[in-house]
Amino acid sequence: MVSRPIGRALHAFGLLLVLSLALFPFYWMISSSLKDQTDLLASPPVWWFRPTLAHYRDIFSDQVVTTAVLNSLIVSTATTVLAVLLGTPAAYALARFEFRGKADLWFWFISNRMISPIVLALPIYLLSRQIGLLNTHLVLILIYLTFTLPLVVWICTDQFRSIPSDLEQAARLEGASQFDIFWQIYLPLGAPGVAVSAIFAFIFSWNELLYALVLITSQNLKTAPVVATNFMSGYELPWGKIMATGTVIVLPVTIFAVVVSRHMVRGLTMGATK
């Protein structure tokens, strides 16, 4: 009886410790973006300071960061929408149908990330230049689909497999078409998996740097991660601007995750069949 409260206290302490370690980098980034240059470079670090928005005024004054965030938003949103629209029907087919080559197709999806992006950067650059897609949003969307689409298929296939097949059989008896079964049964009940896959697809597209750095050279089309690296030079490291840009980059991803994450905790299949 005595050990149970102690165990709960240790468990709570462990959770708080892990949470603190996970949130500290975000605290440090945000607090650094609000410090002036003197407090930012102080040693030992200054924990109590007067906040300033000077770094945010600097990064938004020339519209470079604003344009970059807009470009990232366009590319990431389009990639996520296309990945979900194309990936969920493919996941449904892999989860519920048997066809020739299914095992090979499934292996291709789950092994897609085995190839390092740096190996493909030069061939993709040459191909994009040849077909005239350099310096366009379309080339980034197509490239990002190559690693977000398999992710959506992978997550949603496992989610759809967990849905009881009795629901599909009952719907068939009621005269539902294949599309009706997918749209009215599998998508609503598989919403947690779809939400998780959409979050990951958006985050991976938003944070991608290599292809955006190689395929986009126009200043007006650069994405937010590329613009953040442009602040670094051999003679100066404006940490205030870098941290402020990082905060601006993280904010849309955080908002998207909070909005969509409500689906992640729903037990939509509980009680569906008896």
Residue 172 lies in a domain: yes
Residue 25 reports pLDDT greater than 60? yes
Please give the pLDDT value at position 265. 54
Give the up-direction half-sphere exposure of residue 197: CA atoms within 13 A in the CB hemisphere. Answer: 31
Best CA proximity match to 198, nearest among 257, 117, 258, 138: 257
Report how far Cα 37 is from the mean position of its chain's Cα atoms: 32
Please give the pLDDT value at position 3. 65
Residue 4 lies in a domain: no
d(CA 189, CA 182) in angstroms, rounded, equals 10
d(CA 42, CA 33) in angstroms, rounded, equals 14
Please give the pLDDT value at position 143. 93
Q: Say if residues 106 and 91 touch (Cβ distance below 8 Å).
A: no
Q: Say if residues 246 and 69 touch (Cβ distance below 8 Å).
A: no
Give the mean model confidence (pLDDT) for residues 61-66.
81
Give the mean model confidence (pLDDT) for residues 248-267.
71
Please give the pLDDT value at position 271. 38
Residue whose tokens read 């344009």: 67
Give the mean model confidence (pLDDT) for residues 236-256.
82
Across the chain, mean pLDDT equals 83
Residue 74 lies in a domain: yes
- Residue 82 has which token pair? 């296309």
Give the mean model confidence (pLDDT) for residues 58-69.
84
Give the pLDDT confidence of 130-187 residue by residue, as tens digits: 998 889 999 999 999 988 999 899 888 888 888 888 888 888 887 888 888 888 888 8
Q: How many domains does the chain have?
A: 1
Q: What is the DSSP string of 82-133?
A: HHHHHHHHHHHHHHH---TTHHHHHHHHHTGGGS-HHHHHHHHHHHHHHHT-
Residue 51 lies in a domain: no
Q: Which of 13-17, 108-112, 203-207, 262-266 has the lowest mean pLDDT?
A: 262-266
CATH number at residue 199: 1.10.3720.10
Residue 93 lies in a domain: yes
d(CA 246, CA 268) in angstroms, rounded, equals 36
> Which residues, including other chains, have CB under 8 Å from residue 106's CB and lie 6 or more apart?
94, 157
Question: Which structural domain, as residue segments, surrounds residue 209?
Answer: 59-263
Give the mean model confidence (pLDDT) for residues 91-113.
82
Residue 121 lies in a domain: yes
d(CA 48, CA 75) in angstroms, rounded, equals 39
Residue 245 lies in a domain: yes
Give buried/exposed letters for 196-234 (b at 16+ CB in 10 A, else e).
bbbbbbbbbbbbbeebbbbbbeeeebbbbbbbbeebeee
